[in-house]
Amino acid sequence: MACELILVLDAPSPRDVTPTLKRLSGTVRWVKVGLEMFTANGPDCVREIAGLGFNVFLDLKLHDIPNTVAKAVESVSRLPIQMLTLHTGGGREMMAWAARAQQQHAPQLRLLGVTVLTSMSAKDLHDVGVSAPPVEQVVRLGKLAVDAGLRGLVSSPLEIGPLRAALPADVVLVIPGIRPRDAKADDQTRVMTPADAARAGAGYIVVGRPIFHAPDPVAAARAILAELDQRTEDREPRTA
């Protein structure tokens, strides 16, 4: 499976990113709408972005009692989205209810379980009562999510290898914390380059500022995509 690029729309309104998105049309296929834009504009922002021709990854990180999360999945499934996140920390029952709601109301929608946020270090986990290092906690939550019916996960790039070793091959890994070699880490603590993430087994990489803040966003996106294509070829077995 080729590794695909998801562009993060870290902005308060679709109007702030529409000019750049129009330039990127035909280069980038996927975009991520997060809490900032969704809470400021509501569901209409998703419709507006999807109307520009992009696949939408809606990153809401749902986390509540099982019935509430299931109802939220049912509600949001009416929007033109292809992926939706929830927190694996909500537990097995919450994820199972969400998976049943997704299968009933939106079979085409992929639910993604968020494991450990890429901004969290081992110390941050310890502060909230988790003694295990990040990689162990990510694998534990990943196994729990798959057992509950999810077929996609979000983790830092440093956990790609352990997750690939522990989970079925059809589980899709969506990986934030991606930075080209010459980009700043910003608020991410566990990062990797696009090439290394693709080689390790990422299904999607999530990139925002290195594209939007580049002097030429189209050129920046194309450079990342070229790197992904090369590394995907490198990891695929050759035939005689």
Contacts of 226 (CB under 8 A, 6+ apart): none
Residue 175 counted as domain residue: yes
Residue 228 counted as domain residue: yes
pLDDT tens profile 10-49: 889 999 999 999 999 999 999 999 999 999 999 999 999 9
**For residue 73, what is the domain's CATH number?**
3.20.20.70
Residue 238 is given by DSSP the state P
Q: Tell me if residue 61 is catalytic.
A: yes
Residue 92 counted as domain residue: yes
What pLDDT shows up at residue 114?
A: 97
3-state SS class at 8: strand
Residue 218 counted as domain residue: yes
Residue 240 counted as domain residue: no
Strands (E), 26-124: 30-33, 55-62, 83-87, 110-114
Strands (E), 95-169: 110-114, 152-154
The span from the CA of 240 to the CA of 237, in Å, is 10
Active-site pick, 22, 61, 71, 123 = 61
Structurally, the chain folds into a number of domains equal to: 1
Residue 114 counted as domain residue: yes
Q: Please count the residues of the chain.
A: 240
pLDDT tens profile 182-228: 655 454 445 688 989 999 999 999 999 899 889 999 999 999 999 88
Residue 74 counted as domain residue: yes
Residue 54 counted as domain residue: yes
Host domain of residue 67 = 4-235
The span from the CA of 153 to the CA of 85, in Å, is 8
